[in-house]
Amino acid sequence: MRSEQDTVAYYSELLRRVAEAAAAAAAPASGASSPSAPSPPSPPFAGSAVPFGPALRAAAARRDLASVSEIVKQMRGLGCTPGADAYAAVIDASIRANKPERVAGLMALMEEERVPPTAAVWEVRLAAATSSGDLEALTGLAEEALLAGVKGFVYKRGVAGISEQVQGRSGEQLKTAQVVACG
C-alpha cells in the first residue's frame, strides 16, 4: 500500500508544481507594461489527461474517493479534460468504495461531455458486475455495452470498433439490433 500512497503523493506534488509554473507563465513580467490583456496559458501536457492516469488509478485502488476527486479538480483546473480512462478510474474508485450509485451519474456526465465509454470503462463495470455475482446485472450491463456500440454512441471507438466477427453476430443480426436499439 505504501507504494500507492507514494505514487499519489508524487503526482500530486508534480501537478502542484505544474499549476504553479502555469500561473507564473500567465503572470505579466515585472516592470513590463502591456496594453493588451495577457493571453491565458496553454494547458500543460497539451491538455491531455494521460499524465494523471497513474495517480488516479493508485487512488482508485486505495478506494480513496477524496484523492480521486482532488486529482480530477486539478486536471480541470489546469485545462486538461478528463477522457474515458480518467472516468474509468473514477468509476473504479466509486465501485471499490461501495458507492455504485455514482456510476449512473458518471456515465450520464460522460455522455453530456461527449466522452465515449471505451473498453476500459466497460471492463471496470463488467468486472464489478461479475464479482458481485448478480447475473441479471451482468447480463443487463453487457447488453448496455453492446447497444451503446450499435447506437454509435462511442463514435466508432470502443465497443463500436469491435468487428462483427468478434462480436459473434452476422450483419443481419446487427441490423436487427440497430432497429431495436434505435427505434
pTM given for the model: 0.62
Residues of the chain with pLDDT under 70: 1-4, 7-8, 11, 15, 19, 22-41, 149-183
Question: For residue 174, how many other CB atoms are within 10 A of its CB?
Answer: 15
Closest CA to 25 of 39, 14, 45, 37: 39
Among 104, 109, 97, smallest CA distance to 86 is for: 109
Given this model, what pLDDT does residue 90 score? 93
Name the amino acid, one letter, at 177. A
pLDDT at 89: 92
75 contacts 82 by C-beta, under 8 angstroms:
yes
Predicted local distance difference test score (pLDDT) of residue 106 = 92
Give the pLDDT of residue 22. 66
What was the pLDDT predicted at 141? 87
The CA distance from 84 to 121, in Å, is 7
Instruction: Write down the pLDDT at residue 4.
Output: 65
| Helix 84-96 × helix 65-77 angle, to 10° | 160
